[in-house]
Amino acid sequence: MPYLHSIDVVNFRDFRNRTFRFAPGLNVIHGANASGKSSLIAALKFGLTGSDPDAHGNVALSFQDGETVLNLRRMKRRNGEEAYSIDEDVVPKREYEEELMRMGINAIHLPIMIHTGLGWERVDQFPAKVSKTIEKLESRAGEISTQMKLVRRQLRNSPSSSRRAKELNDNLEELTQERKVLFDTRTLPNFNRRMQEFYGMLVGDPVQAVALRSEGRRTGLSGVELNIDHGPRGRGFVSEMSKTEKTRAAMSFAMALCEATTSRLAVFDDVDEVDPNGFRRYMDGLEGCATRLQVLVTSRHGGFANMAPNSIVL
């Protein structure tokens, strides 16, 4: 299975010329504040997705599959000019992205860039974003989204009062309802089941569980919101969770995403607010994820680096 073997970073953010090497499975990137962890993850995102329009520099990604090594390089100047290469041969951006997808890395799907110190309060404010993330894991949901885009495009070209426009609006409503049913009856329950199992493991109590609900009971927004079962204290919303509970809930969410995805690379960024006594449980969960895909973790805590099979100290 292909895995990210190394990143060469030249003139990107804090790095003038640095090389970082990784191993299959679990990799922990450890360093204090301002040590370069965020810059390294930004370089990875730059090389994989080009998601930051203001970023510029030279990033080379080396992937290894058995004895075969594949080198991909993305360069962007300050004036916005871009260049892509595969094994030093200049290629168009489309071919570069297709090569990444061939190796199991989809710029839309993954790498999963999860900030595990998530301000989970934002889930209540923007539940639709979380909803769409989980929906992408269901292939039929992707098909429905494609059909909906096509219908909307046709609607823009049809007079609003025409019979054709009415038919398209009815079609759009049917697709919207089908997606909601799919999410509520198949995707969300399956996802919740695994997330709850991970959360129970992280807190050391299988009775406690978290759940994403498809309706915002307090916010009135469509999408999902996070609930946690406090046992005797009853069920509360994310805003009522402690900092430790929020971090563990975010971690269980990320681990469930990793298990559900078909991608081969995931990144857990800023795994910092961790109870020192809980490192072993967190590490067990991370190593479980890393049995089926490559996982990169960044953290200020040395406990992760001391336990990890492969560590990078910045």
Res 86: pLDDT: 96
Residue 229 confidence (pLDDT) above 60: no
Res 75: pLDDT: 94
The candidate with the shortest Cα–Cα distance to 264, out of 296, 286, 287, 310, is 296
Q: How many CA atoms lie within 13 A of 97 on its CB side?
A: 13
Q: If pLDDT is split at 50, 70 and 90, which confidence band does 151 have?
A: very high
Res 115: pLDDT: 55
Label residue 185 exposed, middle or buried (CB < 10 Å: 0-12, 13-18, 19+). Answer: exposed
Residue 232 confidence (pLDDT) above 50: no
Q: If pLDDT is split at 50, 70 and 90, which confidence band does 240 have?
A: low
Phi/psi of residue 270, each to 5°?
60, 55
Q: Per mean pLDDT, which range of 98-102, 115-119, 126-130, 208-212 is the poorest?
A: 115-119
Residues near 132 by Cβ (< 8 Å), separated by ≥ 6? none
Q: 208-211: which pairs have CB atoms within 8 A and are 24 or more residues apart?
A: 210/249, 210/252, 210/253
Residue 171 confidence (pLDDT) above 80: yes
Helix axes 243-260 and 127-135, enclosed angle (nearest 10): 30
The residue ranking higher by pLDDT, 241 or 143, is 143
Domains and CATH numbers, the chain: 1-111+263-314 (3.40.50.300)
| Extended strands (E) in the chain | 3-12, 15-21, 26-30, 57-65, 68-76, 82-86, 89-91, 112-115, 210-215, 222-229, 235-237, 265-269, 294-299, 311-313
Residue 35 confidence (pLDDT) above 60: yes
pLDDT digit string, tens, across residues 260-285? 777 788 888 877 766 666 778 888 88
Beta pairing class for 57-65 and 3-12: antiparallel
The count of residues in the chain is: 314
Residue 121 confidence (pLDDT) above 60: no
Res 22: pLDDT: 96
